[in-house]
Amino acid sequence: MIPVPARPYAYWLDPAHTALVVIDMQRDFIEPGGFGDSLGNEVARLQAIVPTVAELIGLFRSHGWPVIHTREAHRPDLSDCPPSKIARGNPSVHIGETGAMGRILIAGEPGNQIVDALAPMPGEIVIDKPGKGMFWATGMHERLQQRGISHLVFAGVTTEVCVQTSMREANDRGYECLLIEDASESYFPAFKAAAIDMIVAQGGIVGWVTPLAALRGALADGSVAA
Ligand code: TIU
């Protein structure tokens, strides 16, 4: 076990049973013309964390630890998308309609792909999730259990929506969760800060939070072989 300096106190990373979960680093959220943009958000904020997320993914790959990628994605026939989700927010382009990068939030469309800089490698799990959380209607828990995963390290977007929802779902299923705070971003700085505060409050009611440098330092201190 490797102690990682974190809030609210040290996170003990179990090298044999830890996976990285990279949430929704898709063009639909990070580039103009996608779902995030259609909801009226300033997408440039999210682009800025791509190098940090890439470094985090590289760290896990260098240790041979599992990397899981999620995409918020719906079937082309929208059979897995509640009408309430399509209608919500009076967006400029609705889910399933055609935007600058193809149909909004639809699996297989250009806008639904993970950004090139963070492309999954062969053998890494990629899941399409119809909800904000990574466990709803995905079979994710069973796949993690089959692999003996008990610890999840989180990155991705947005901090207070899909990342926090996934982390809460994971926490309720018994996973020990660590968010890498500079590898996650929100369209709203205040919401990112609030989400982090909520995660670590009450003795880590949802989990732990730390910057990438703290994880990198903990892994470099000789307690785990590269
Ligand atoms: N709108 C927003 O902040 N987020 C989402 O809709 N999905 C994710 O967070 N991935």
Q: Nearest CA to 107 among 123, 128, 131? A: 128
| Segment 44-78, tens digit of pLDDT | 999 999 999 999 999 999 999 999 999 999 999 99
DSSP-based three-state secondary structure for 54? helix
Please report, rounded to a whole number, the percentage of residues in the chain having pLDDT higher than 90: 94
Q: Residue 226: what pLDDT?
A: 42
CA of 23 to the centre of ligand 1 (A): 10
| Segment 3-44, tens digit of pLDDT | 999 999 999 999 999 999 999 999 999 999 999 999 999 999
Give the span between the Cα atoms of 129 and 147, in whole angstroms.
Answer: 20
Q: Nearest CA to 19 among 226, 215, 178? A: 178
Q: Nearest CA to 49 among 168, 187, 160, 174? A: 187
Q: Is 162 close to ligand 1, i.e. is its CB under 6 Å away?
A: yes
Q: Is 157 close to ligand 1, i.e. is its CB under 6 Å away?
A: yes
> Judging by beta carbons within 10 Å of its beta carbon (0-12, 13-18, 19+), is residue 175 exposed, middle or buried?
buried
Give the span between the Cα atoms of 101 and 26, in whole angstroms.
Answer: 11
Q: Nearest CA to 112 among 16, 36, 213? A: 36
